[in-house]
Amino acid sequence: MPQLIPFTNDGCRTIDIALGENMFRLRTTYLPYTHTWIMDIMDQEENPIIMGIALNTGVDNLVKGKAKIFQNQTIRCISLDGTENNTPNSLGESCVVLYYPEGEEPPQLWKDKMLED
């Protein structure tokens, strides 16, 4: 079962959370000039693991290929009402971030019509 990462839209926010078997410190920041929410993933001592991940909806896996510690795991930004995560109020309200642990297959976001039988 996916884990909801409890982000809110109250500006720059840092949370400590267990994802899989590891503890992480996650920080979100809204960039008003580019209308983008970004997420930084750090260890408990704030050593950077992955920095500046744009929390865009429609991306299959925001951490794929970015750090070995997240191999075979998925983090997604999902829209609850079909909107993009591009306003100061969207994160935590109309868009949420989900974590899928290793061994859990996330649902397919899109289907290639050319590959259908």
What is the pLDDT at residue 116?
65
What is the pLDDT at residue 113?
67
What is the pLDDT at residue 69?
95
Name the residue ranges covered by the structural domains of the chain: 3-103
Closest CA to 66 of 47, 41, 103, 46: 41
Contact call for residues 55 and 91 (beta carbons, < 8 A): yes
What is the pLDDT at residue 117?
56
What is the pLDDT at residue 25?
98
What is the pLDDT at residue 112?
65
**Ranges in the chain, pLDDT < 50:** none
